[in-house]
Structure 1
């Protein structure tokens, strides 16, 4: 994974993420105020990167999961949520 940082002007910091596996190219733009330092901008970048769920997608693509296994997991999760809602299971 290679990261590049640069600035368009004084108030915007942009970052590119390059992933070699899967050919994913992601660009996150972080707007920063003139009074902010680079630490706050990096904190915003990390939060935005986490919300984009790019790392989760990358990990999912590393291994193949059969569609029947994915569907079974979804059904079990739905059953669990239904039991929580009805009060049969205490969370």
Structure 2
């Protein structure tokens, strides 16, 4: 549970900004979006494999640009 205490004389906008930053850092919105819809295990597996392939391509591209490959 993310909590933000409003300090004396602090504008509500600033407190809201701190709250949003804490929520983002905690990864709460990311988790909510992930749980919003049910995904079958087979779909999760495919998505995970695609993400791994994308990371590998990105890593390869970076190494190629650096001249290591």
| TM-score range relative to shorter protein | 0.5 to 0.7
Normalised by the size of structure 1, how large is the TM-score? 0.52
More helix by share: 2
What secondary structure is seen at the aligned counterpart in 2 of 1:66? helix
For residues 66 and 33 of structure 1, the distance between their equivalents in structure 2, rounded to whole angstroms, comes to: 43
More strand by share: 1
Equivalent residue pairs, number:
62
Q: More relative contact order in 1 or in 2 (CA 8 Å, sep 6+)?
A: 2
Residue of 18, 22, 27 corresponding to 1:53: 27
For residues 47 and 24 of structure 2, the distance between their equivalents in structure 1, rounded to whole angstroms, comes to: 26
Q: Name the counterpart of 2:7.
A: 33
Normalised by the size of structure 2, how large is the TM-score? 0.62
* 1:31 shift after superposition: 4.1
Q: Name the counterpart of 1:22.
A: none
Structure 1: tracts of 5 or more residues without a match: 1-26
Deviation by residue 1:46-72 (Cα, 9 ceiling, x = unmatched): 111122222222222214133133123
Q: Quick check: 1:77 aligned with 2:55?
A: yes
Distance 1:36 1:84, change over 3 A: same
| Runs ≥4 residues deviating over 6 A | none
